[in-house]
Amino acid sequence: MNQEIRAIFDSIAPVYDQLNNWLSLGQHRIWKEMAIKWSGAKPGDTCIDLCCGSGDLALCLARRVGNTGHVYGVDFSPNLLATAQERSQQQYPQPAITWVEADVLNLPFENNQFDAATMGYGLRNVTDIPQSLREIHRVLKPGAKAAILDFHRPNNPQLRAFQQWYLNSIVVPMAESLGLKEQYAYISPSLDRFPTGDVQMELARQAGFASVTHYPIVNGMMGVLVVGKSET
Ligand SMILES: C/C(=C\Cc1cc(O)c2ccccc2c1O)CCC[C@H](C)CCC[C@H](C)CCCC(C)C
Ligand SMILES: C[S@@+](CC[C@H](N)C(=O)[O-])C[C@H]1O[C@@H](n2cnc3c(N)ncnc32)[C@H](O)[C@@H]1O
């Protein structure tokens, strides 16, 4: 299953950023900035961006922590990581980012290492959500927070219908024109299976987080789960 997910993301790497910009009308950057703000990351911090893909969130996070901080971007797709690396090499000054090819369900980091964590559109794609939350909890320092951005199913039936129409009738045909129909057709069923905000909060409590809040954004079509590790 992990290999199928990795194959999906490896194959969309060449068009990934362009399609996200078009399909969200550029809005995904704003949603990612909200996640960074809610993660509590600040200048000088050591942060981790999980499921970093082509590096969008990690690059913004690196701007936030500045040259006294450091960001680790972790993903298991070599093709998306290569894009991330290229993007960071094109920047001046070079952002303080280390790109790490690894499985977020088994992070190659010690306990209590990070001041903040972010994850954009990753939790819906991992094969074991409770294990992913436990790993985030393990690597965060006491008192640190993580902000986890993803799609969400709105309660309002009209908005849910709009979201399904947009995913099936705009996103999939546009991807089909680039030969990537199957890959983008995967988003809608993965969202159907994805736990809603209140269930995500319960899973985060079970993973050990002391504070948990789910913020619906974009009229509930997206959400940010903000979780904090206890001080002690
Ligand atoms: C950055 C975004 C999605 C990333 C993403 C996540 C996945 O799980 C995928 C799985 C398989 C293939 C690709 C992806 C993938 O790219 C979010 C923005 C892109 C969305 C496709 C746009 C969805 C928009 C909302 C349903 C409605 C927005 C209304 C308005 C246009 C603001
Ligand atoms: C939709 S992309 C999100 C990329 C980026 N965070 C963004 O917001 O644009 C999901 C990413 O999760 C990665 N991913 C999924 N499961 C993973 C796992 N178990 N370990 C590491 N990366 C994983 C995929 O390779 C892909 O890059």
Atom of ligand 1 nearest to the CA of 32: 1
Q: To which residue do tokens 């790109």 refer?
A: 99
The confidence band for 191, taking pLDDT boundaries of 50, 70 and 90, is very high
Q: Is 90 exceeded by the pLDDT of residue 207?
A: yes
Looking at every residue in the chain, the average pLDDT score rounds to: 97
Q: What is the pLDDT of residue 89?
A: 96
Instruction: Give me the residue spans of the domains in the chain.
Output: 2-14+25-151+195-228
pLDDT tens digits, residue range 34-86?
A: 999 999 999 999 999 999 999 999 999 999 999 999 999 999 999 999 999 99
Q: Is 80 exceeded by the pLDDT of residue 117?
A: yes
Q: What is the pLDDT of residue 2?
A: 83
Complex prediction ipTM: 0.97
* Phi-psi label, residue 219: left if phi above 0, alpha if psi -120 to 50, beta otherwise: left
CB 123, CB 203: distance < 8 Å:
no
**Measured in angstroms, how far is the CA atom of residue 3 from the centroid of ligand 2?**
12
Q: Is 80 exceeded by the pLDDT of residue 124?
A: yes
**CATH architecture of residue range(s) 2-14+25-151+195-228:** 3-Layer(aba) Sandwich (3.40)
Q: What is the pLDDT of residue 17?
A: 94
Rounded Cα–Cα distance for residues 24 and 167 (Å): 11
Q: What is the pLDDT of residue 1?
A: 76
Q: What is the pLDDT of residue 141?
A: 98
Rounded Cα–Cα distance for residues 176 and 171 (Å): 9
Residues near ligand 2 (Cβ within 6 A): 2, 5-6, 9, 51-53, 56-57, 75-77, 80, 103-105, 120-122, 125-126
Q: Is 80 exceeded by the pLDDT of residue 208?
A: yes
Cβ–ligand 1 distance for 175 under 6 Å, the answer no
Q: What is the pLDDT of residue 232?
A: 83
Average pLDDT over residues 139-167: 98
Specify the residue with its C-alpha closest to ligand 1, atom 31.
Answer: 24
**Measured in angstroms, how far is the CA atom of residue 232 from the centroid of ligand 2?**
31
**Measured in angstroms, how far is the CA atom of residue 104 from the centroid of ligand 1?**
21
DSSP state of 5: H
Nearest bound ligand to the CA of residue 23: 1
Q: What is the pLDDT of residue 64?
A: 98
Q: Is 80 exceeded by the pLDDT of residue 138?
A: yes
Average pLDDT over residues 111-131: 98
**Measured in angstroms, how far is the CA atom of residue 169 from the centroid of ligand 2?**
24
Rounded Cα–Cα distance for residues 99 and 85 (Å): 7
